[in-house]
Structure 1
Amino acid sequence: MSRLAGSVFHVGSAVERADVVARMVDVYIARREPAGDGQDRAVAAELRSVVGATGPASDPDRGATIDSLALDRHEPASIASAVAVARDNARRAREVVSTELWDCLNVTRSRMPRKVAPDRAHEFLGWVRERSALAIGVVEADASRDEVWEFFTLGRSLQRCATTARLLASDLLDRRSTASWVTALRACSAGEAFQRGRDHHTPSPEDAAAFLLLDERSPRSLRFLARRADECLTDVAPSCIEDEVRAFAEVRAALESVTETTALLAARAAGEQFAVAADRVVEALDARVFAASEPAR
Structure 2
Amino acid sequence: MDKGLNGWLNGFIGVLIFSGSLPATRVAVMDFDPTFLTSARAAIAGLLGIAMLVLFREKRPERGDLVSLMIVALGVVVGFPLLTALALKHVAAAHSIVFVGLLPLATAIFGVLRGGDRPRPAFWLFSCLGSALVAGFALLQGVTVSPVGDALMLAAIIACGLGYAEGAALSRKLGGWQVICWALALSLPVMLALAFATRPLSFTGVGSDAWIGLAYVSLFSMLIGFVFWYRGLAQGGIAAVGQLQLLQPFFGLALAATLLHEQVSPLMVVVTLGVVACVFGAKKFAKPSPSPRAAEQ
TM exceeding 0.5 = no
What is the TM-score when the length of structure 2 is the normalising length?
Answer: 0.26
Which of the two has greater helix per residue? 2
What is the TM-score when the length of structure 1 is the normalising length?
Answer: 0.26
